[in-house]
Each structure stands twice: as C-alpha cells, then as structure tokens.
Copies of this chain bind each other. A is one copy, B any other.
Amino acid sequence: MAKSPGRLTIFAGTGDLVPHAIDAALAAGYKVQVMALTPRPDITAVKVIVADVANPLAIIWSLKVFRTSHILMVGAIHLPDKAREGLIRFANGNNPTKSASSAPVGDATLAALGTVLKKMTGADLIGVHELSPDLLAPEGHIAGPDVASDDAVFALQTARAIGRLDIGQAAVVSGRRVIAVEDIGGTDDLIARVGTLRRNGLAGDGAARLTLAKAMKPQQPGFADLPAIGPTTVENCAAAGIATIVVEAGRSLLLMRADLLAAADKHGITITGVVIGDE
C-alpha cells in the first residue's frame, strides 16, 4: 500500500462540492476529518466534528489531536457579523491594540484567516482543485448552443471587479448594462432577483442575451473556494431567463459535470469558459 499523502482536515460549508471533495481526498489516500461549519447530516463516510467558530481554540485543538497535515476549505460559509468580529479578534491574538478595528470583514479577507490556521497548526492549505483538477472549467465552448457572446468578456470583467471589492463572485449583464451583482445572499439569490427584475419588465426584453458570469476574487488566496457552477445553477438560470453562463477558465469549477452539461443542453443555455487578463 502506498504511503498516505497526509492527514486532511476539511472545513465544510454548504453545497454539493463538499461530499465530492471528501471522495476525492479519500481516493487520493488522505486520512480525512471534517469540521462542519454548517450542519452536514449527509456526511457519513468520515468523522464529522461540528466546528464552533465562537470557539476557535477548540477548533485548533481538534486539528492538533488529529495531527492535521493539510487543510481544505470547501463549500460556502455564511458567518454573521458577530462571528466575523470574534474571528478577527482571535486572529489578532485577542489583543485590541494590535488592530485598529475588530469590525466584520468580507469573505476574501476572512479566507486570509487560513494563514493564521497554518501558522498555529503547521498544516498546509490546499484547494479542492488540487485534489480534483478535472473540476476546473476549460477555455472555450463547454455546453449548450455554441453561440458567440459579445458580452462574455464584459460580464466576466464585471464579476472580477465585484470580486476585487469583496462583494461577490458573480454578475448578470445585458449587453454593456449591469443588471445585478452577487452579494452576501449568494449566486442563487442573484439569479432569482434577475428573474424578478425580468418579469417586472426592467431587463432582458431586448436583442441582448442575459449573461451570468462568475470569476475568482483576485485577492482571494488560492486555497479558498473557487467560483463554481452546477446543474442547479443552470436550472435557476433557465427559470430566470438567463441565456448564457460565462466562467473563468482554469479558475472556476464545474460541479457534477455530466448533469451540468445535460441541464445546459435541455434548457438551451450556453456555457463558455473565458480567460481574461489579471490587469
């Protein structure tokens, strides 16, 4: 039997990517422990510990006991402001003079807290795409009708700009007009909102196609969650009247790819992978 690649603690948020990541880690030979940041009764293949973000020291202790060598953060986390304020104080060593503020911060800044974990445990932070490189979106036409979209680059640049401001990872545009952008409510909320705006006659009745784009937050550490789309994203877009989905090639994830492609074909929704410069 080959040597184990290490002992992996998975910080698990919501979403379909979590069980996939566990399977990929087990297949790669890792010993796996899950710290659930949200209830995950669906996970039974490995030991699950409920992570209490109000008690970061208990989390560190669990990692020490497990002798964690690698840490993976996967799935969306929904931390309210109070939990964020507590984590910032913890990251500052509970030293109120060290930082001018313990005000809540956005998700990209929060993800940088992973470096505190690394420092306190010695474990390496890895990204889910390192376990499953096949998840990464390729460049070019991926699924659905192969129509060129003039708006793809504009859409992706808008998603990137929103990410740079640590607001969200997604944007919906119509031509050169931004319809709505993702906030802390997440992508599904954004798509539903666009559906409402469209039904109210405010967008999407012209020649331009409604286009959803998702891009990585440029300041986001590589181990943090990459933007992802799955079959549900496609179903939601179909319901909202969004005709095109643009993802950042090599920096976003395609979940349940067979189902994703089937959903895109079924609803006639185009999925394209695009590379834009880092500017």
| A positions within 8 Å CB-CB of B | 78, 80-82, 84-85, 101-106, 109, 150-151, 158, 161-162, 165-167, 174-181, 183-185, 193, 196-197, 201-208
Contact = CB atoms under 8 A, between A and B. Distances in A.
A102 B151 CA distance: 12
Count identical subunits in the complex: 2
7 contacts: A85-B175, A103-B174, A103-B175, A103-B176, A104-B174, A179-B184, A193-B193
A106 B205 CA distance: 15
Contacts of A176: 101, 103-106, 109
A166 B204 CA distance: 17
A59 B100 CA distance: 56
A104 B167 contact: no
Given A82-B207, A104-B174, A105-B175, 5 more contacts: A80-B201, A80-B205, A81-B208, A103-B177, A181-B181
A183 B185 contact: no
B178 A181 contact: no
